[in-house]
Structure 1
Amino acid sequence: MAREFDASAHYGRRIADVHDDGIAVKDQLPGRAPALPAVRGPITSMLFERLVRPPHRFGLLSLPLLSFPARFAGPVLMDEDVQLALFVCYELHYRGFAGVDDRWEWSPSLLEVREILEARFEEGLARAIPYPPASRPEQTRQALAELVGTAVDGPDLAGFLQGQADLEQFREFGAHRSIHHLREAGPHTWAIPGLDGRPKAALPAIQADEYGGGSAGRTRSELFRATMRGLGLDDSYGAYLDRVPAITLAISNTMSLFGLHRRHLGALLGHLAVFETISSISNRRYSTGLGRLGGDEATRRFYDEHARADAVREQTAAHDMCGEFVTRHPTRVGDVLYGAACALTLDRLFAEHVMSRWRRGASSLREGDAAAKL
């Protein structure tokens, strides 16, 4: 039976600032960055021990990354050690970590390590997600629609959250999604400098809603923090990094990989276009599920705003952004479709992980010493 919504579980550790639009913003303390997470294996153990020291040369021959190639024998998308190490490398381009010198962000030693991790990660993506067949530029919109329509069926996570999930399961879902949602649209925004013409105009138009259209209270990250508070979750940036599994990190790492490498520009656009395509229906279901559990308007607003805006932005993403991009760069149609396929496949793998755990009556989050109960 679904548990009732408990508004008394809110975290109230920040001072509210009510803006003109009536939405309360509870700002984090200035300059506060999350702590490094707990290690998950020999790679993160080595990496984190280095990061708490001033930037220095590693000496790659001593790294377990090269000394033990069998370390990568398993499925990389589910490798806790690899995905966390890569996530931490990428996070230095976002907000960083407490106690980690900001100069590590562009340290040659760390970039060498990241390059090794990225190569394994890209190999894992290629094994799990075949490169789509060739299409002509004018067929891109149709090909994107067909990818969504013919995607391999997986568990209906959105449907489950809408009609059956209890409050604890919804809270777990919120903890997973916080890893991406509290970053807002950062990875996709990195595409803007590499675009021109209509695609360059279309992407900021899509991103404007993510950044609240100039209103601090309506940024998507702020709305999601309100959702987290309504669910009784800690809305601090990175609060659940120790709890989320490799597949959750792989979803975020894919966006960062595409965003940080200009060679993946087409894949990044296709990735965003699919998000816009599938987001409206899913978010409507999430909002309905929260309403069933007693969630109030503020708790549901993040999903309601996405359901409304993404239905409109879908056409902008497919036509003005992706369609015009491949018209200008006809050899990159496959890249756009590959990025879209990555988004769909990783979303399915995530749903399979979550639903398989819930069917067994287990948590979809990681357990252990560093994984205290929600």
Structure 2
Amino acid sequence: MKLPAPRGTHSDVVIAALTQDPHPFTVAAPDSEEDLHLSLFVLYELHYRGWDGVDDRWEWDPGLLGVRAGLEARFEAELRRLPVPADTSDVPRTLIAMTNESGGPSLSGYIRGRATLDQFREFATHRSVYHLREADPHTFAIPRLSGAAKAALIEIQIDEYGQGTARRMHQEMFKATMTALGLDTTYGAYVDAVGWQTLANNNLMSLFGLHRRWRGALLGHLAAYEMTSTGPNRNYGNGLRRLGGDAAATRFYDEHVEADAVHEQIAAYDMCGSFCAAEPELAADVLFGARCVLTLEDRWAEHVLSRWAAGETSLRA
């Protein structure tokens, strides 16, 4: 995909550097959350499908990794302030309690009953940044696990990738939803349009996925995703049907209602439970990962709903 427009001093320097051959450069601290999370997103994408016109050698350039580490330290310091349950004696049960918390405002409830078609398009625009590469960040954990936890993760991922059939991949299903909504299905087409809250959600799973030390947090992240998926996706599907969406348009959401009802049990017990039994010293990381994604998702939903309540767009452009 094309490199996005800068959002501050830091992202301006990083994006400009990537248009050249790998070379040493210096960069000041980020100006804002927009600047920070765009820079991180641009650097993380080098480990996925990359950017048009950017030399692949940048992916493992030592200097660029140092720049990324500085951004990650700022992001991680923010995440470390989140409250995490101290009791790790029964991680699956604690995950269930965490994901049953009321949390923030119900974006899915609003979309089910009140959202306009334009608002649903905005919602899908935000989500496209992840859904067009759905499951990819969590796949980084596979070679870092063993035994029952690894088998459970693979069981979930196989469904995410359509059991090996391209048209059944969740990434491909979401393209059908975007097409029905008249949106551009090009990978990364809307990075410029979404705010830092959306980029932070994506950066969180890349932060956990690209560092072996955070493998426990990545599993907690995935578990919280799967365990809070069924109800909201039912609401999204019903909301889109209310707005005239046909079976092809709602298939992505309907598939998640069915699949994630099974995945939530696998994620909590077979994946996270087995992982914590094998590596009990990392049990707290599992809960940390879950807390991070639940908090950042609530923050993103609050941003979207507050803009809509003010009669404004939730997008940057």
Does TM, normalized by the shorter one, top 0.5? Answer: yes
Looking at structure 2, the residues matched to 141 and 54 of structure 1 have their Cα atoms a distance apart, in angstroms, of: 47
Alpha-carbon distance in structure 2 between the residues aligned to 1:150 and 1:284 = 19
Superposed CA offset, 1:96-115 (max 9, x none) = 11111111011111101000
Q: Deviation of residue 345 (structure 1)?
A: 0.5
How far apart in 2 are the matches of 1:55 and 1:124?
30
SS at match of 2:229: helix
- Return the alpha-carbon distance in structure 1 between the equivalents of residues 265 and 84 of structure 2: 24
Partner of 2:98: 147
Alignment partner for residue 84 of structure 1, among 26, 32, 38?
Answer: 38
Q: How does 1:292-307 map to 2 (within 5 A)?
A: 292-307=242-257
The CA RMSD measured in Å over matched residues stands at 1.0
Is the counterpart of residue 225 in structure 1 residue 192 in structure 2? Answer: no
Supply the distance in 2 between the matched residues of 1:332 and 1:131 (Cα, whole angstroms): 13
Matching residue within 96, 101, 108 for 2:50: 96
Candidates 132, 138, 142, aligned match of 1:182: 132
Q: 2:6 aligns with which of 36, 39, 53?
A: 39
For residues 206 and 191 of structure 2, the distance between their equivalents in structure 1, rounded to whole angstroms, comes to: 16
Residue deviations 1:233-273, cap 9 Å, x none? 11110110000000100000000000000110000001101
Deviation at 1:131, TM superposition (A): 3.3
Post-superposition offset of 1:134 = 3.0
Look up the match of 1:107.
61
Shift of 1:154: 1.3
Residue 309 of structure 1 deviates from its aligned partner by 0.2
1:196 corresponds to? 146
Letter matched to residue 120 of structure 1? R
Matched residue count: 317
Once the 2 structures are TM-superposed, how far is the Cα of residue 184 of structure 1 from its aligned partner?
A: 1.7
- TM-score w.r.t. length of structure 1: 0.83
Alignment check: 8 A CA contact 1:272 1:317 kept: yes
Match of residue 272 from structure 2 = 322
- Written as runs of structure 1 = structure 2, the 5 A alignment for 1:142-291 is 142-150=93-101, 153-291=103-241
- Return the alpha-carbon distance in structure 2 between the equivalents of residues 118 and 345 of structure 1: 18
**What displacement does 1:149 show?**
2.1
Q: In the alignment, residue 47 of structure 1 is paired with which amino acid?
A: V
1:53 aligns with 2:3: no
Give the letter for the 2:182 counterpart.
Answer: G
Task: Give the letter for the 2:88 counterpart.
Answer: S
- Distance in 2 (alpha carbons) for counterparts of 1:199 and 1:169: 39
How far, CA to CA, are the matches of 1:104 and 1:283 in structure 2?
Answer: 38
Contact 1:134–1:333 (Cα < 8 Å) also in 2: no
Shift of 1:133: 1.2
Q: Report SS of the residue matched to 2:80.
A: helix
Given that 1:171 and 1:233 are in contact with CA atoms closer than 8 Å, whether structure 2 keeps it comes out as yes
Identical aligned residues as a percent:
56
**What does residue 300 of structure 2 align with?**
350
TM-score by length of 2: 0.98
Inter-partner Cα distance in structure 1 for 2:63 and 2:175 = 35
- Paired residue secondary structure (2:190): coil
Does structure 2 retain, via aligned residues, the 8 Å contact 1:202–1:320?
Answer: yes
Structure with bigger gyration radius:
1
Aligned to 2:70: 116
For structure 2, the residue ranges without an aligned partner over 5 or more in a row are: none
